[in-house]
Amino acid sequence: MQKVIEVNGLARSYKIKKGTKKALDDVSFEVYKGEVFGLLGPNGAGKTTTIKILTTLLLPTGGNAKVLGYDVVTESRKIRDKINFVYGGERGVYGRLTAREYLHYFCTLYKIKNKEQTQLISELLELVELKDNEGQKIHTYSKGMTQRLHIARCLINEPQILFLDEPTIGLDPLGARLLRDLVKKLSSNGITIILTTHYMQEADELCDRIAFIKNGKLSMIGNPEEIKDSCNHLKLYEATMNLSDTESLKRDSFFTNVEIEAIKEPFYTVNFEVDESITEKISDHLGRYGMVLKLRKKDISLEDAYVHHMKDVG
- Interface ranges with ligand ATP (CB under 6 A): 14, 16, 21, 23, 41, 43-49
Pick between residue 201 and residue 232 the one whose CB is nearest to ligand ATP: 201
- Strand, helix or coil for residue 230: coil
Cβ pair 130, 160 in contact under 8 A: no
- Order of strands, sheet of 3-16, starting from the edge strand that comes earlier in the sequence: 19-32, 3-16, 62-67, 70-71
Cβ(62)–Cβ(10) under 8 Å?
yes
Report the SS3 class of residue 36. strand
CB of 213 to ligand ATP, least distance (A): 7
* Residue (of 266, 234, 261) closest to 250 by Cα position: 261
CA–CA distance, 208 with 87 (Å, rounded to integer): 21
185-221: string of b/e by CB count within 10 Å (b at 16+)?
Answer: ebbeeebbbbbbbbbbebbbebbbbbbbbbbbebebb
Residue whose CB is less far from ligand ATP, 10 or 270: 10
- Is the Cβ–Cβ distance between 301 and 271 less than 8 Å? no
Q: What CA–CA distance (Å, rounded) separates 157 from 148?
A: 16
State in angstroms the smallest separation of the CB of 21 from ligand ATP.
5
The secondary structure element, H or E, covering residue 268 is: strand 267-273
Residue type for position 24:
L
